[in-house]
Chains A and B, each alone.
Chain A
């Protein structure tokens, strides 16, 4: 499966010569309607290391006439015989809409508050390499679940893989009916983190706050920010994760984030490239013209 394949790419990526020629002559386009550094770079590296031609297109949402251009842009790229379109968009469902209009492979690099599948896969890979399994682990996802596509994809994936998933946050930052996602819901960090194997922090989307979801950053960090004291109730060897970019001192204590004994945040980034290589590899295997 995908995670096993990704494991082999982790090793490949640690070699001095990382280049493969699997996708030679193939074209991968990163079509980003929303700004991103790490995800776009990660996809770019993944494509290049597989030997594909990778082109980055950043389309600032403010300069386009919204969805009309979304479809137009996709049709244009499609007409150029693109093999893989990697798409990020600020609207939930935009990637799905686009995928209906093109005949190349489309990968979701994050759509609105909906999903971010490769992030969940890289998180799963990180956990599995550290713990050897996902089944039976208790994973707490903490913070701004409401706006988080990372949380939604992780809940789906971890739940499917047999992990026990908890979400922790103030009710204003949890989506309605979250209890129907097969998760346990907590509003208190100490209760929610008790005996957890994995603590997954989410970025507080401060740009959407304006006193509407939580009154202040200060209050938020006091009750929901991860620090050593709160982490102490989790299992002794509990791992700390964060999809990035972090707000240090908002959802996570800065020094804790850098603690290589607890935090696997940098490892997540490394796994990201491997997972995306595996995903692109698998998606292009049944393309017309591939002998293998």
Chain B
């Protein structure tokens, strides 16, 4: 049987991990990258290969989004593996890592395998799963880290719930180190956040809403860092949102602790002003913070303290959001806006293009030891062709996601995916959707 080949001509190849940023071509063969480089097709395109003329646009590794809620199984009316897969494809995402807060919770091998099987059937973006750190995400008993790891769990987290009990966290870190697994914390001291709906401060006070204080984040981070020091475990802070939180992790890294963290686009692209007059689409946890915190997140991305950007895709239906602010659900969808919002860091001259892309490709992949996020011979042909400067306006009506809860509706942005490729197969071609 002849090989299935695609030749990508006339591209600007960007591979953040190797520093490659040069004109050239790429040949995908049977789902893997067979070759790439400047003079690749100097002697012509191989026989029978499909030809994609990239027109000078950026060909980069497909995006790796390490924080996605699929809602499947359990709440398929908000999102399912198919709709999330379409959203991912349109957003240039070729690998997603989903949180275990499904129903039932991904805290045992059976549910994990169910999600993996559904993902294989859907055949869009690749899906990896976290497993819950504790059974039912209740914060008490540990799940089977070893068995779940063998079944494919890439790390352990109780999703949007902090592991509040210090002893449980200590044991989780300690036991997970047996297998080298990462414990991913939602860094928020719950006792300080009871009933809170938005960032504490002037705006919350004026709106008469209970606050989620910024200090709740750094308190949990600092506690956990002590436990990391004591146990030698691997630890990751999800969606860091405050200046103090970033600074604590910066200092821990300087001390040599093996800790990592990510943030989400809304923490560097928005601040608490977006809540405006009770806009529940801007209700998210951790909450949108003040402008000083937003700037500190940008700085953390610039200096490498923050290792990755994840969309924190959290679909919610109308009924969960069309409520008085305090009663509305927390969460923002993000698969289809991850790329343009990350590119704002480039367009606003905070980061070179390749470094901005690293935060959504090679760096999150490395963090979880995923074989993804690279343009290299032999690597999977998971690619995204990007028009990095092309202006467009985010439009919730155009979202493929079943849920529309985005505070970015109407925002003018630059850069989007032209073509998304998984294992050599195009799963999205811009302007060519059925």
Tell me the bound Cα distance from A180 to B204 in angstroms: 12
Can you list, as one digit per residue, whether each of A104-116 has a CB less than 8 Å from chain B (1) or not (0)? 0000000111110
Query: Is B202 within 8 A of A177, CB to CB?
Result: yes
Tell me the bound Cα distance from A175 to B323 in angstroms: 24
From the candidates A67, A115, A152, A181, name the one contacting B324 in the complex (CB within 8 A).
Answer: A67
Query: Is A112 within 8 A of B326, CB to CB?
Result: yes
Query: Is B205 within 8 A of A112, CB to CB?
Result: no
Query: Is A97 within 8 A of B278, CB to CB?
Result: yes
Chain B residue with Cβ nearest A175: B205
Query: Is B208 within 8 A of A112, CB to CB?
Result: yes
Segment among A87-95, A250-258, A282-290 that sits at the interface with chain B: A87-95
Query: Is A152 within 8 A of B278, CB to CB?
Result: no
Query: Is B326 within 8 A of A68, CB to CB?
Result: no
Tell me the bound Cα distance from A152 to B326 in angstroms: 18
Report B327-376 residues with CB < 8 Å from chain A CB: 327-328
Can you list, as one digit per residue, whether each of A8-38 has a CB less than 8 Å from chain B (1) or not (0)? 0000000000000000000000000000000
Chain B residue with Cβ nearest A112: B208
Tell me the bound Cα distance from A180 to B208 in angstroms: 14
Query: Is A176 within 8 A of B200, CB to CB?
Result: yes
Query: Is B278 within 8 A of A93, CB to CB?
Result: yes
Residue A66 interfacial (CB < 8 Å): yes
Which residues of chain A are near B213, meaning CB under 8 Å?
Answer: 176
Residue A226 interfacial (CB < 8 Å): no
Whole-angstrom distance from the CB of A60 to the nearest CB of chain B?
16
Query: Is A91 within 8 A of B324, CB to CB?
Result: yes
From the candidates B209, B319, B324, name the one contacting A70 in the complex (CB within 8 A).
Answer: B324
Query: Is A89 within 8 A of B205, CB to CB?
Result: no
Query: Is A178 within 8 A of B205, CB to CB?
Result: yes
Whole-angstrom distance from the CB of A61 to the nearest CB of chain B?
11
The size of the chain B interface, using a CB distance under 8 A, is 21
Tell me the bound Cα distance from A176 to B202 in angstroms: 6
Which residues of chain B are near A91, meaning CB under 8 Å?
Answer: 324-327
Which residues of chain A are near B323, meaning CB under 8 Å?
Answer: 66-68, 70, 97
Residue B207 interfacial (CB < 8 Å): yes
Query: Is B325 within 8 A of A93, CB to CB?
Result: yes
Residue A149 interfacial (CB < 8 Å): yes
Residue A214 interfacial (CB < 8 Å): no
Which residues of chain A are near B328, meaning CB under 8 Å?
Answer: 67
Q: Taking A176-B201, A177-B201 as contacts, is the C-beta distance between A93 and B322 under 8 angstroms?
A: no
Chain B residue with Cβ nearest A68: B319
From the candidates A66, A96, A115, name the one contacting B327 in the complex (CB within 8 A).
Answer: A66
Chain B residue with Cβ nearest A177: B202
Query: Is A113 within 8 A of B208, CB to CB?
Result: yes
Residue A71 interfacial (CB < 8 Å): yes
Query: Is B204 within 8 A of A176, CB to CB?
Result: yes
Query: Is B208 within 8 A of A149, CB to CB?
Result: yes
Query: Is A177 within 8 A of B205, CB to CB?
Result: yes
Tell me the bound Cα distance from A114 to B202 in angstroms: 13
Tell me the bound Cα distance from A178 to B205 in angstroms: 7
Q: Taking A66-B327, A94-B324 as contacts, is the C-beta distance between A181 and B206 under 8 angstroms?
A: yes
Query: Is B278 within 8 A of A176, CB to CB?
Result: no
Report B246-281 residues with CB < 8 Å from chain A CB: 277-278
Chain A residue with Cβ nearest B201: A177
Residue B211 interfacial (CB < 8 Å): yes
Whole-angstrom distance from the CB of B275 to the nearest CB of chain A?
10
Which of A67, A70, A93 is the most central at the interface, judged by chain B CB atoms within 10 Å of its CB?
A: A93
Whole-angstrom distance from the CB of A71 to the nearest CB of chain B?
7
Q: Taking A68-B319, A176-B200, A176-B211 as contacts, is the C-beta distance between A92 and B324 under 8 angstroms?
A: yes
Which of B200, B205, B322, B328 is the most central at the interface, judged by chain A CB atoms within 10 Å of its CB?
A: B205
Tell me the bound Cα distance from A115 to B206 in angstroms: 9
Whole-angstrom distance from the CB of B230 to the nearest CB of chain A?
33
Whole-angstrom distance from the CB of B278 to the nearest CB of chain A?
4
Can you list, as one digit per residue, whether each of B284-307 has a CB less than 8 Å from chain A (1) or not (0)? 000000000000000000000000
Can you list, as one digit per residue, whether each of B161-205 has a CB less than 8 Å from chain A (1) or not (0)? 000000000000000000000000000000000000000111011
Query: Is B201 within 8 A of A93, CB to CB?
Result: no
Report A49-70 residues with CB < 8 Å from chain B CB: 66-68, 70
Whole-angstrom distance from the CB of A143 to the nearest CB of chain B?
16
Query: Is A176 within 8 A of B205, CB to CB?
Result: yes
Which residues of chain B are near A67, meaning CB under 8 Å?
Answer: 322-324, 327-328
From the candidates A66, A152, A176, A177, name the one contacting B208 in the complex (CB within 8 A).
Answer: A152
Which of B201, B206, B208, B278 is the most central at the interface, judged by chain A CB atoms within 10 Å of its CB?
A: B208
Query: Is A93 within 8 A of B205, CB to CB?
Result: no
Chain B residue with Cβ nearest A178: B205
Which residues of chain B are near A93, meaning CB under 8 Å?
Answer: 207-209, 277-278, 324-326
Which residues of chain A are near B277, meaning CB under 8 Å?
Answer: 93, 96
Which residues of chain A are near B319, meaning CB under 8 Å?
Answer: 68
Which residues of chain B are near A66, meaning CB under 8 Å?
Answer: 323-324, 327
Query: Is A152 within 8 A of B201, CB to CB?
Result: no
Tell me the bound Cα distance from A62 to B13 in angstroms: 60
Known contacts A67-B322, A68-B319; 14 further A-B pairs (Cβ under 8 A): A89-B324, A91-B327, A93-B208, A93-B209, A93-B325, A96-B278, A97-B323, A112-B208, A112-B324, A112-B326, A176-B213, A178-B205, A180-B202, A181-B202
Sampled A-B contacts (14; CB under 8 Å):
A66-B327, A68-B322, A71-B322, A91-B324, A91-B327, A92-B324, A93-B207, A97-B278, A112-B326, A113-B209, A114-B207, A115-B208, A175-B204, A176-B205
